[in-house]
């Protein structure tokens, strides 16, 4: 567990800090203000496509100063479900390949024909998805490879509206093979274990999706703060889990909680 004893706030990224390559107004300044009060800001993204350096560089480009240990991802959680020396086929992005190789796994993208000797297939969001890559992943699972999803998010928020998420692609492989996947990202057990190991118990989990960020908060015993800048609009119906506090965006949330009004 982390030796950093500062109160930690754990932020989602997509729909919370940014939308695609657009920063959400006020988010970075608000997080910097939070850090200036002696608290720690950390980040957990279910977006498994980018490499760690891409996420960290983007946070820095938007005005934040994360350390490497402040970033957690569903790709990292998924890699923990594989053993060093295993052979993995990746239907996803370079972030999954990177996390697997850091784990000592022989990881190959599904664009390559790796033959029959595949121990595990990892699926994540994949903007370049095509029929041949999907078929290779499906065939490998059909031949006995384990099926692991980095996350099961149905959609991915962008400024132009939602795109099919990693969960939609995972569902295609699962349906085609009849195999139930193990899912690593928020809010599933591997993500809870990764967060506890790295951060302990965050005081607040900030996100835009109750089914992932909210459920992770409940699994950790943290407060769940919902912001309306991503997939969940302000005028919503009942939510499960219900947030402990809601705000329009991170800027409003930090103002609310630091003032003791949430």
What the block records as the tokens of 47 is 């977006």
Instruction: Tell me, yes or no, if 12 is annotated catalytic.
Output: yes
Instruction: Tell me, yes or no, if 109 is annotated catalytic.
Output: no
Angle ∠(25,30,36) on CA atoms, nearest 5: 155
Single out the catalytic residue among 4, 12, 21, 240: 12
| Pairing of the two strands 8-11 and 40-45 | parallel
Single out the catalytic residue among 4, 14, 102, 244: 14
Cα-based torsion angle of the residue sequence 24, 25, 27, 33 in order, rounded to the nearest 10 degrees: 170
| Pairing of the two strands 120-123 and 106-109 | unpaired
The residues that are catalytic are: 12, 14
């Amino acid at each position: 567990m982390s030796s950093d004893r500062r109160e930690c706030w754990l932020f989602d990224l997509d729909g919370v800090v940014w939308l695609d390559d657009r920063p959400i107004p006020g988010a970075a300044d608000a997080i910097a203000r939070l850090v200036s009060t002696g608290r720690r800001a950390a980040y957990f993204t279910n977006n498994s496509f980018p490499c760690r350096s891409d996420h960290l560089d983007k946070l820095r480009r938007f005005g934040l100063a994360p350390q490497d240990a402040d970033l957690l991802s569903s790709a990292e959680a998924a890699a923990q479900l594989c053993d060093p020396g295993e052979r993995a086929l990746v239907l996803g992005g370079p972030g999954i390949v990177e996390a697997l190789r850091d784990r000592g796994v022989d990881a190959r993208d599904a664009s390559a024909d790796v033959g029959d000797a595949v121990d595990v297939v990892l699926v994540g969001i994949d903007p370049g998805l095509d029929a041949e890559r999907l078929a290779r992943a499906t065939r490998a699972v059909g031949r006995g490879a384990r099926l692991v999803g980095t996350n099961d998010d149905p959609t991915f928020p962008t400024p132009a509206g939602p795109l099919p998420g990693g969960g939609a692609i995972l569902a295609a492989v699962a349906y085609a093979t009849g195999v139930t996947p193990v899912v690593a990202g928020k809010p599933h057990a591997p993500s809870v274990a990764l967060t506890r190991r790295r951060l302990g118990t965050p005081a607040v989990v900030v996100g835009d999706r109750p089914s992932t960020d909210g459920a992770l908060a409940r699994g950790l015993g943290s407060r769940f703060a919902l912001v309306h800048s991503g997939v969940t609009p302000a005028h919503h119906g009942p939510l499960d889990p219900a947030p402990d506090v809601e705000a329009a965006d991170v800027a409003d949330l930090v103002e609310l909680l630091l003032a003791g009004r949430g």
